[in-house]
Amino acid sequence: MEILWLLLYSFVLLLKAFVFVHGGGNITYDGRSLIINGHHKILFSGSIHYPRSTPEMWPSLIDKAKKGGIDVIQTYVFWNLHEPQQGQFDFSGRRDIVRFIKEIQAQGLYVCLRLGPFIEAEWSYGGLPFWLHDIPGIIFRSDNEPFKFHMQRFAKNIVDMMKSERLYASQGGPIILSQIENEYKSVEAAFHEKGPPYVRWAAAMAVGLQTGVPWSMCKQDDAPDPVINSCNGMRCGETFAGPNSPNKPALWTENWTSFYQTFGEETLMRSAAHIAFHVALFIAKKGSYVNYYMYHGGTNFGRTAAAYVIPSYYDQAPLDEYGLIRQPKWGHLKELHAAIKLSSSPLLSGAHTTFSLGELQQAYVFSKSEECAAFLVNNESRDVQVFFQNFLYELPQNSISILPDCKTVVFNTAKVSTQHNTRSTIRSQKFDSIEKWEEYKEVIPDFHKTSLRAKTLLEQMNTTKDTSDYLWYTFRFRHDSPSAQSVLNVASSGHVVHAFLNGGHVGSAHGSHQHKTFTLKNTLRLRNGTNFISLLSVMVGLPDSGAFLERRVAGLRRVRVQGKDFSNHPWGYQVGLLGEKQQIYTDLGSRQIKWSRFRKSTHQRPTWYKTTFDEPAGNDPAALNLGSMGKGEAWVNGHSIGRYWVSYRTSNGNPSQTWYNVPRSFLKPKGNLLVLLEEERGYPLGIFLDTISITKVCGFVSGSYLPSVTSWRRQEGSGKIYQKKPGRRPKLQLHCPPKRIISKILFASFGTPSGDCESYDIGSCHSSNSRDIVEKACLGKNRCSLTVSSHTFGGDSCPDFPKALLVDAQCS
């Protein structure tokens, strides 16, 4: 009987692999793509995480994504944000996931809901609430009954909430795809025989929630039917082995547009051309869903960032941390999306063939009756010429040309004709008035002032329960020796430690994202009699990945003074700082303590600083320049804008982050409260409040570049494409942000300008009237367009040279 039941259940799951129908919507899939209401779809998706921005920003972010050719907004669900204490849920403010999804629906886009509930995402504890750690017998992400109970309970709560708001496509809502778990394959082997059953259980549990839409598992090549296995990474067109069933589509759930950044590390840059190449290759190999992770990264407010991760998240995404369009990434990908959508009919229903055009060149062709689309790929690091269907084509190095009719090149991944823009900061306010600052110095606790005691070194995370980054370890000992000099040696698996002897600072040390443990070693001058050592252990975020996360340890591991091990000595502990407990970063809390006038001190101890400021004029994003500070956290009107660590420099000598986002919704017109907790010797009088804006736009287009893809149309009922206005040539287009105009032409050259928008000069061939013509066409306008041709510039003084136009302009 049990075997019969299992066979029946498997049959039901298999049916769900092909049809998800409830109410007014119909979401199915096959080996080609997701099918929405009977139509195969190629979908471009962008990750925007609701808690990493503000509700006031959501409409603009979604609108810009839509205008960039995005069809789907993808987001995780953040368990520890919604259930910080067991059974106590919070969906207010930035946590209002229903409001976020309804905004997406209002703008006509779809949603991919990545339920997790383990998400990693460079988010504290991988999105798991820390109270799970204390559930008896629990083992995270394994075939473990306590974990499965709580995971299913949370998943059901979220799904029931979505159903009650009718947000699944099966109910007429925007959610067309969900994800369970996250990159589990990378840790599955560590769980041995408890791994595979957990995967099967998670898949069955998710499908059993009956959402009426498909489920996926990323980087899980053995995802059980009907769950779709998907790819994550930068080069899924090269690395993805493909769906594990011919009846499943190829999905790319994370195409990293740059990479997350940690304190002490430089930003990883990824070019628009590189992203476009790999998207085009994935589509050429029958991929049908590509999600950009991130499309807008936003900000890790408060203590939400994982270990060592900076507040600014994926700032190099098509929409930057502040929601500003980052060019040329946004515009080049928009052109790519349009080129692929122009090819969608043969892509989705045509026969797929691949053949060689050379040693490192291939053609991927989709054809049906009269329709045909081709992707011509050059994997070589030099320009080449290839013959395709009896025509000769020029292929730039490491590029893909898209031919929606197998004849006409409408887009090449390496030819970036979209403008570049430059983000600038404009000084709004200085905080250099000593009279406007007040301070509150933390008391350095000694052993006598602690109530939590143990005869061993306690593990930090289990002691603080994620209520604070800080844990004081204190002990006392007698010193009776004519020599006052001694050595303190502290081994830590935390992130930072500050050491104090008898209330005075004697040294600090820290680890890094790559090196999880470190040692502080400092000389001490002891006094005869009783000495008090206080060690402030600091976490810069909880870990977010790896097997057996519940077993991870942090904090001090060993303490020696002059060779004597005090690790199993009586210790006194204080969780957090006094200012945290009194919430002195809020308006109410700040009025409950006695602040002192600011005084520059040479002695280091945790110190709180307070001042007020007015909102900057205009609507541009605002940011605090904390370049004069050391390490700590900042609050504006009680909202934490994140941890800062300016003193931790990269190998190039720069802070990983200097400007810290202050959303306009955090501000009021007058009297905004700014509070900083400084662990080191930061200098608050050097802080500035700046506004962020796009102040320069630059374009570089050669005569061999292509007209905008939007100039092309596919003729109904045939395989032909045509231009709305025949004979269109490549154009250089400049566009300032709204309410700004092109106020100055900084450089203009038609001919053979050298360099690019980062660094340029006039070449050997240059039209002397370049600046005059560009100024006439562009000055005083929000946007302008110039055809790249000799006719535009009144003739050709050097006909033997291929021409290009480079213009750099200022927006005001």
- The 10s digit of each residue's pLDDT in 345-402 is 999 999 999 999 999 999 999 999 889 999 999 999 999 999 999 999 999 999 999 9
Tell whether the model's pLDDT for residue 228 goes beyond 50: yes
Tell whether the model's pLDDT for residue 315 goes beyond 50: yes
Tell whether the model's pLDDT for residue 113 goes beyond 70: yes
- DSSP-derived letter for residue 569 is S
Tell whether the model's pLDDT for residue 188 goes beyond 50: yes
The overall average pLDDT reported for the chain is: 95
At 15 the pLDDT is 42
Tell whether the model's pLDDT for residue 544 goes beyond 50: yes
Per the structure block, which two tokens stand in for 508? 């600090």
Per the structure block, which two tokens stand in for 552? 């991870």
Taking the C-alpha atoms of residue 782 and residue 742, their distance in angstroms, rounded to an integer, is: 6
Query: Could you give the strand order of the β-sheet that contains 672-678, starting from the edge strand earlier in sequence?
Result: 596-597, 438-441, 607-613, 672-678, 631-636, 639-645
At 551 the pLDDT is 97
At 128 the pLDDT is 98
At 10 the pLDDT is 44
Tell whether the model's pLDDT for residue 3 goes beyond 90: no
Strand partners, 429: 689
Closest CA to 423 of 7, 811, 110: 811
At 8 the pLDDT is 40
Q: In degrees to the nearest 10, what's the CA dihedral of 139, 141, 145, 151?
A: 120
Burial tier of 507 (Cβ tally within 10 Å: 0-12, 13-18, 19+): middle
**How sure is the predictor about 11, in pLDDT bands with cuts at 50, 70 and 90?**
very low
State mean pLDDT over 158-164.
98
Tell whether the model's pLDDT for residue 717 goes beyond 90: no
Tell whether the model's pLDDT for residue 4 goes beyond 70: no
User: Phi and psi (nearest 5°) for 134?
Assistant: -95, 5
Lookup result for tokens 């930068």 = 234
Tell whether the model's pLDDT for residue 686 goes beyond 90: yes
- DSSP-derived letter for residue 85 is B
At 716 the pLDDT is 78
**How sure is the predictor about 1, in pLDDT bands with cuts at 50, 70 and 90?**
very low
- Report the percent of the chain where pLDDT is more than 90: 92
State mean pLDDT over 178-195.
98
User: Phi and psi (nearest 5°) for 151?
Assistant: -65, -45
Beta strands in 405-512 (DSSP E): 411-412, 420-430, 438-441, 452-454, 470-479, 485-492, 496-501, 504-510
This prediction's pTM: 0.96
Q: What is the pLDDT of residues 244-279, one digit of tens each?
A: 999 999 999 999 999 999 999 999 999 999 999 999
Longest Cα pair distance anywhere in the chain, in angstroms? 98
Is residue 459 left, alpha or beta, with left meaning phi > 0 and alpha meaning psi from -120 to 50?
beta
Lookup result for tokens 């009237």 = 769
At 25 the pLDDT is 67
Tell whether the model's pLDDT for residue 22 goes beyond 70: no
State mean pLDDT over 618-634.
97
Q: CB pairs under 8 A, 24+ apart, for 229-232?
A: 230/179, 230/289, 232/183, 232/256, 232/293
Between 136-150, 275-289, 788-802, the lowest mean confidence (pLDDT) is in 788-802
Taking the C-alpha atoms of residue 99 and residue 88, their distance in angstroms, rounded to an integer, is: 20
Tell whether the model's pLDDT for residue 23 goes beyond 80: no
Q: Which residues touch 416 (CB under 8 Å, ≥6 apart)?
A: 272, 273, 328, 332
Relative to beta strand 556-561, strand 287-296 is unpaired
Between 4-8, 192-196, 358-362, 546-550, the lowest mean confidence (pLDDT) is in 4-8
At 602 the pLDDT is 73
At 611 the pLDDT is 98
**How sure is the predictor about 286, in pLDDT bands with cuts at 50, 70 and 90?**
very high
Residues with active-site annotation: 183, 254
